Chain A
Amino acid sequence: MEKIYQIEVDCANCAAKMEEAAKKTEGVAEATVSFMTQKMKVVFAEGADEKAVMKKVLKACRKVEPDCDIVL
């Protein structure tokens, strides 16, 4: 399962941090953030509930970058 989400983030370093945070979230097999297109691609682990996982991803991202947003 792979999905692309629209995100809002202000700086490139913050985007890199979001990527790190998303990668470490449980249920995420792989994550890439493109600061240029303001998009996040998430590959979910097998059997993961994407909605629940994305909530956790958003929470983890907010922790590293309070101003960021993911359009879920």
Chain B
Amino acid sequence: MTRKQKKVLLRIIVAAILVTAFHFVELTGLPSLLLYLIPYLIIGYDILRKAILGIVHGEVFDENFLMAVATIGAIGLGEYSEGVAVMLFYQIGELFQSYAVGKSRQNIAALMDIRPDYASIEKDGETIQVDPGEVEPGTIILIRPGEKIPLDGVIVEGSSTINTSALTGESIPKDAQSGDEVISGCVNMTGLLKVRTTKGFGESTVSKILDLVENSSMKKSRSENFISKFARIYTPAVCYSAVALAILPPLVRMCMQMPPDWGTWVFRALTFLVISCPCALVISIPLSFFGGIGAASKCGVLVKGSNYLEALSEAGYVVFDKTGTLTEGVFRVKNVFVRENIAKQLQADGQDAQTYILEAAALAESYSSHPISKSLREACKKDLERERVTDIEEISGHGVTAKIDGKEAAVGNARLMNKLQIDFVQCHEPGTIVYVALEGEYIGYILIADVLKDNAAAAIAALKKTGIRKTVMLTGDSRAVAESVGASLGLDEIHSELLPADKVMRVESLLEEKTPKEKLIFVGDGINDAPVLTRADIGVAMGALGSDAAIEAADVVLMDDDPMKIALAIQVSRECLRIVYQNIVFALAVKVLCLILGALGIANMWIAIFADVGVMVLAVLNATRTLYTGKYIQKTE
């Protein structure tokens, strides 16, 4: 508890003891009033002060005013203990609210506890700790096991495993060694690292993410705007109704020659005022969204605003970019085909046919930096003896010719085979085909393709399960590749051979096609799809850890490469919205019911206090549940 809260608690305790004690003192009239004024002023002086200041400033209808009028009114009517009790319970409610809200804020802050406190640098042979903000880019910093990485940089010495879970929600640690980039906000787990910083603290990943999360509550959702508008009309409306309730019925009674009974009606009006405070709504809704955003970021999904969290729950269309989003975005050898007679011949020589062809191709391409050559070398696995290769000639757009162990080798596409007039069988599988010929004779081909992410299919299925109406893939890749990917993932619609501008047009036509209530999500890797990310209702950038451009352009950022997180984000947002609606309906229903009962004289001051404080407490507790939704959903799956 803060000092302010402790002070209020003390006042509550003292006032409560006094009121209870006075209950047993038999006094009436002025002495009794004076006695009860002591606890009343102890518990309520600040409310009275604010109420008076409010009137001076022309801000009449606020809750301080309501409480002051209600309690003074009760005391005026001779209900001393009730007047004090109302103020007492109001303060208890306020204290609880500020405590609960403070706790939730701390919880969320703890979820995002990635802010490093210091950076260790070496100076004159000694290690000193400095504020990360003071470290210039290019400085060597020391990171011991168990410490947070304070700034982005490159490892110059040491190796370790790094826990990225605070940023990505990924629980499996990553290995890192000399030369690898490290990202601030992660935790160094096992070894001492020396890191040369590449960015200042302000530009480091950790600052960017903290900024983003903290500012997310500035972008308000429709529900929040609705409630603040509602409160602006609601509070004065209730106040005028209370005035009417106090004056009209007695006047009517007077006209009907009955006793006006002012006391009863004024008291009912006061009850009315106590019930009316809109706090339960005004506090619980932003709290729910804040909790939801916190829960999502714990799972590695950064949502940039409450409005986007709200929009996610209404998603109807999910549009994907292919490369890097559904696929790994790297080329891998998928298949090696060897001509039958060649394979037999090689087997007779005691060689594995596939390895032989792969090695030949990798050797021929061993000096090329093309991604295809890289994937060939990777697939080959063993160290290449480059001295076996001579007379390498790269023919741009075709492939490579070289001599391996003195034998003429040709490695490349169909055009190369045609050019060298080698007789070969054209292959039509989706992907890039590398044909291999030795001594002018075609011996086989290697199929290289971008591989699907492990859980891409599961991610699409999960989206379908959450009720997404249409999944679409847009790609610049060839039709054959796109269709094979689409079929294996179960996507509804595929558009291939698109230029970046075509992707924007496609998204625009999809935006027109959907019903206005449905939202369209575009998921990309954020590298070259910024225009599409901004055009979609919700732009989701994937694998954005360390990529500033993606964090800038997108509305929702997935910190790791896992497409499953999209469905998770939608579920978290739905759960959060469910809690928001629960609170709106619950609070309004209880209030309206109590208002009616209060007007009819059935609800007394105690029920009124429940309607104000009790409802608020319950709504805050319910809102706090959003904090745990993300992990809960992940666990149950």
Residues of chain A having any CB pair with chain B under 8 Å: 4, 10-13, 16-17, 19-20, 32, 34-37, 39, 41, 63-64, 66-67
Contact = CB atoms under 8 A, between A and B. Distances in A.
B472 interface: no
Contact residues of A: prevailing secondary structure: mixed
Contacts of B282: 11-13, 16
B398 to A, nearest CB: 54
A13 B231 contact: yes
A16 B108 CA distance: 21
A13 B218 contact: no
A64 B59 contact: yes
B105 A36 contact: yes
A22 to B, nearest CB: 13
B316 interface: no
A35 B59 CA distance: 20
B314 interface: no
Contact of A39 (B62, B218, B232): B218
Given A32-B220, A36-B217, A39-B215, 16 more contacts: A4-B215, A11-B98, A11-B282, A12-B286, A13-B231, A16-B228, A16-B282, A32-B218, A34-B215, A36-B105, A36-B287, A37-B214, A37-B217, A63-B59, A64-B62, A66-B54
Interface in B217-249: 217-218, 220, 228, 231-232
Nearest to B620: A12
A23 B93 CA distance: 30
19 contacts: A10-B94, A10-B98, A11-B94, A11-B98, A12-B283, A12-B287, A13-B62, A13-B282, A16-B228, A17-B62, A19-B228, A20-B232, A32-B218, A32-B220, A37-B217, A39-B215, A63-B59, A64-B59, A67-B50
B231 A16 contact: yes
B290 interface: yes
Contacts of B59: 17, 63-64
A64 B54 CA distance: 7
Contacts of A10: 94, 98
Nearest to B53: A66
Shortest Cβ-Cβ A-B pairs, 6 listed: A12-B283, A34-B217, A36-B290, A63-B57, A12-B282, A13-B282
A13 to B, nearest CB: 5
A13 B279 contact: yes
A19 B97 CA distance: 20
